[in-house]
């Protein structure tokens, strides 16, 4: 049996943090369109160059590009299910995902809405850094590395801050979220797929809430 879960929430809500925990031991695959777009930039593809400034400014990349990325992953990945992290972000993307899964004889099984206060998002984003090697996510105050400058998980010293994690870009990212992504809350509520969780809780508590949702599906 497959299980496909969408993590829905504003920038900094904790989608990436929780997606990494959800896939552990379950064989599920995390599909983060943000990570895919950053990989395209790092490898210098034409598409990567095209989206670099858009992402730095905090705007959404076109539906055509991100739907293409997801389509390719779904067609080429054999997995018992997917955790969609940062996708869909528009109604067009939500419709496209529904059609893609339908074509595979699958569906969206649940949408977890991570609810976090706007003020906390700013705090989370401005303190975030990530391991460039394994992708582990850290925070200056709430989750620093045990040894300064060294990733707890893989030992890499390649710890990075994202170019879009600045005050101006975050303002745009939040506006994009409220204008284009938040309508998905109503869309999935109407379909009976929405499961809100308190994203203001501690990371372990949020994970426990997610577990409860997964078990209920």
Contact residues toward ligand AP5 (CB under 6 A) are 9, 11-17, 33-34, 37, 54-55, 58-61, 66, 86-87, 89, 93, 124-125, 127-128, 137-139, 142-143, 164, 173, 202-203, 206
| Closer Cβ to ligand AP5, 1 or 164, answer by number | 164
Q: From the candidates 20, 38, 124, 128, which is the catalytic residue?
A: 128
173 is catalytic: yes
Task: Respond yes or no: is residue 59 known to be catalytic.
Answer: no
Count of residues for the chain?
A: 217
Which among 107, 143, 162, 180 is annotated as catalytic? 162
**Nearer CB in complex with ligand AP5: 105/146:** 146
Q: Which is nearer to ligand AP5, 34 or 110 (CB)?
A: 34
- List the beta strands (DSSP E) in the chain: 3-8, 29-32, 81-85, 110-115, 128-131, 137-139, 159-160, 194-198
- Closest approach, Cβ 35 to ligand AP5, in A, equals 7
Among residues 21, 38, 124, 173, the one annotated as catalytic is: 173
Residue 128 annotated among the catalytic residues of the structure: yes
Residue 118: count other Cβ atoms within 10 Å of its Cβ: 11
Q: Which of 15, 20, 21, 38 is the catalytic position?
A: 15
Q: Smallest gap, in angstroms, from Cβ of residue 178 to ligand AP5?
A: 13
26 is catalytic: no
**Cα separation values, 127 from 62, 64, 138, 162, 204, Å:** 28, 32, 8, 11, 19
Q: Is 194 helix (H, G, I), strand (E, B) or coil?
A: strand
Give the residue nearest to ligand AP5 (CB): 34
Identify the CA nearest to 185 among candidates 10, 8, 12. 8
Q: How far is the CB of 215 from ligand AP5 (least distance, A)?
A: 20
96 φ/ψ angles, rounded to the nearest 5 degrees: -65, -40
> Active site includes 161?
no
Rounded to a whole number of angstroms, the minimum distance from the CB of residue 78 to ligand AP5 is: 23
Q: How far apart are CA 13 and CA 119, in angstroms?
A: 11
Q: Which is nearer to ligand AP5, 39 or 105 (CB)?
A: 39
The number of angstroms, rounded, from the C-alpha of 201 to the middle of its chain's C-alpha atoms is 18
* Alpha helices for 77-150 (secondary structure H): 91-103, 118-126
Q: How far is the CB of 217 from ligand AP5 (least distance, A)?
A: 21
Identify how many contiguous H helices and E strands the chain contains and give both numbers. 9, 8
Q: Which residues are catalytic?
A: 15, 89, 128, 162, 173
């Amino acid at each position: 049996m497959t299980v496909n879960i969408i993590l829905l929430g504003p920038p900094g809500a904790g989608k990436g943090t929780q997606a990494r925990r959800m896939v552990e031991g379950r064989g599920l695959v995390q599909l983060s369109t943000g990570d895919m777009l950053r990989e395209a930039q790092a490898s210098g593809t034409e598409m990567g160059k095209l989206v670099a400034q858009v992402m730095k400014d905090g705007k959404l990349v076109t539906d055509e590009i991100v739907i293409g990325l997801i389509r390719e992953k779904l067609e080429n990945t054999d997995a018992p299910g997917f955790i969609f992290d940062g996708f869909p972000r528009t109604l067009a993307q939500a419709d496209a995902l529904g059609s893609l899964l339908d074509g595979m004889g699958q569906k969206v099984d649940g949408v977890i809405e991570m609810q976090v206060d706007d003020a906390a998002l700013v705090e989370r984003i401005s303190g975030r850094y990530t391991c460039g090697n394994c992708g582990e996510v850290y925070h200056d105050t709430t989750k620093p590395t045990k040894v300064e400058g060294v990733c707890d998980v893989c030992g890499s010293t390649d710890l990075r801050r994202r170019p879009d994690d600045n005050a101006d870009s975050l303002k745009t990212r939040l506006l994009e979220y409220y204008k284009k992504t938040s309508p998905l809350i109503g869309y999935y509520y109407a379909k009976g797929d929405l499961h809100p969780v308190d994203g203001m809780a501690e990371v372990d508590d949020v994970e426990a809430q997610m577990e409860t949702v997964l078990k209920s599906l």
